[in-house]
């Protein structure tokens, strides 16, 4: 534990010294394989360790999926048409921004549940994921903090070459 904390402090100090511009090992690895990886995050104390891309898609299309604790996963999105949101929708939902907008409008007309809520601030997003059981969201690896934990998607992590939640800006 102590070693782990010390290592985190070093990384944090390094990041702070570089004004936050220093990429993490995640980012470096992700950049090496091309594109922007988005880490799927949950609360640190969640028992959820991995999710399939198909289930991730279901969660972000407001289908009910529960985690090992029995909590319904609650998706939190980035605001529409922001870069990572568009990239996430492309990679996970397989939809362009315009298609996503049409999808949710049509879905509401059908009387189904609406889209996930959006959070327009990284700090807020991490805090919400940390405190709200079942919350699930996504961030760039450089935006990770101790408040949240990244999980595997299709058994892959963001630094794996074939990690599926990745987009080319």
Partner 1 sequence: MNIRHCPVALALAALTTALPAGAQTPDPEKPADASAGAPASAAAPAAPDAPAAVPTPAASQALSELPPASDSLASEDSSGTFALDDSGSLDIDEGTKLELYGFADFNYTQLLGSRKNEWRQYVAEYPSMYVGHLNLYLSSKLSKNWRSLAEVRFTYAPLGNESKANPDGTFQTIDTAAADYGEIQRTINWSGIEIQRVWLEYQALDYLTIRGGQWLTPYGYWNDDHGSPAIVGVFKPYTINDQLFPERQTGLEAYGKFFIDLTTLGYFVTLSNGRGPVDAVRDLDANKAIGGRLFLETTAAGELTVGLNAYKGRYTASTKHFSVGTDDAGNPKVVLARTIDASYSELSLGADVKFLWKGLQVQGELMMNEAHYDDDHRPRTVGFDQRPTFVADYRRIGGYGLIGYRLPWWTLMPYGMVQHLTFTNTDAVGPVTSWTGGINLRPTANVVLKAEFGIAFFDGVGSTGFGSDLPEFGAQAAWAF
Residues facing residue 152 across a β-bridge = 50
d(CA 92, CA 87): 8
CB of 91 to partner 1, least distance (A): 13
The reply on whether position 131 binds partner 1 by CB under 8 A is yes
- Which one of residues 31, 33, 147, 164 is an interface residue with partner 1 (CB under 8 A)? 147
d(CA 156, CA 169): 21
The CA–CA distances, whole Å, from 75 to 50, 56, 80, 102 equal 15, 9, 14, 19
Q: Which is nearer to partner 1, 115 or 136 (CB)?
A: 115
3-state secondary structure of 81: coil
The number of residues in the chain equals 169
- Which one of residues 28, 34, 117, 155 is an interface residue with partner 1 (CB under 8 A)? 117
Here the tokens at position 104 are: 């949710």
3-state secondary structure of 169: coil
Phi, psi at 7, each rounded to 5°: -65, -40
- Which one of residues 76, 91, 92, 165 is an interface residue with partner 1 (CB under 8 A)? 76
Residues 78-107 that bind partner 1 (CB under 8 A): 78-86, 94, 97-98, 100-106
CB of 34 to partner 1, least distance (A): 19
Residues 16-75 that bind partner 1 (CB under 8 A): 16, 19-21, 24-26, 39, 43-47, 49, 52, 54-55, 57-58, 63-66, 72
The reply on whether position 140 binds partner 1 by CB under 8 A is yes
- Nearest-Å Rg of the Cα atoms of the chain is 16
Q: Which is nearer to partner 1, 33 or 101 (CB)?
A: 101
- Which one of residues 28, 34, 113, 155 is an interface residue with partner 1 (CB under 8 A)? 113
């Amino acid at each position: 534990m102590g070693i782990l904390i010390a290592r985190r402090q070093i990384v944090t100090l390094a990041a702070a010294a570089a004004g936050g511009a220093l990429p993490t090992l995640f980012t470096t690895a992700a950049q090496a394989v091309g594109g922007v990886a988005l880490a799927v995050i949950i609360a640190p104390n969640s028992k959820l360790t991995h999710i399939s891309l198909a289930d991730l898609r279901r969660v972000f299309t407001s289908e009910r999926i529960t985690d090992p604790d029995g909590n319904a996963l609650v998706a939190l999105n980035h605001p529409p048409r922001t870069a990572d949101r568009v990239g996430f929708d492309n990679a996970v939902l397989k939809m362009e921004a315009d298609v996503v907008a049409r999808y949710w409008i049509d879905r509401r007309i059908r009387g189904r549940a609406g889209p996930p809520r959006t959070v327009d601030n990284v700090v807020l997003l991490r805090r919400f994921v940390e405190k709200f059981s079942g919350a699930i969201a996504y961030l760039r690896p450089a935006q990770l903090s101790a408040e949240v934990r990244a999980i595997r998607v299709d058994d892959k992590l963001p630094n794996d070459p074939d990690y599926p939640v990745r987009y080319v800006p």
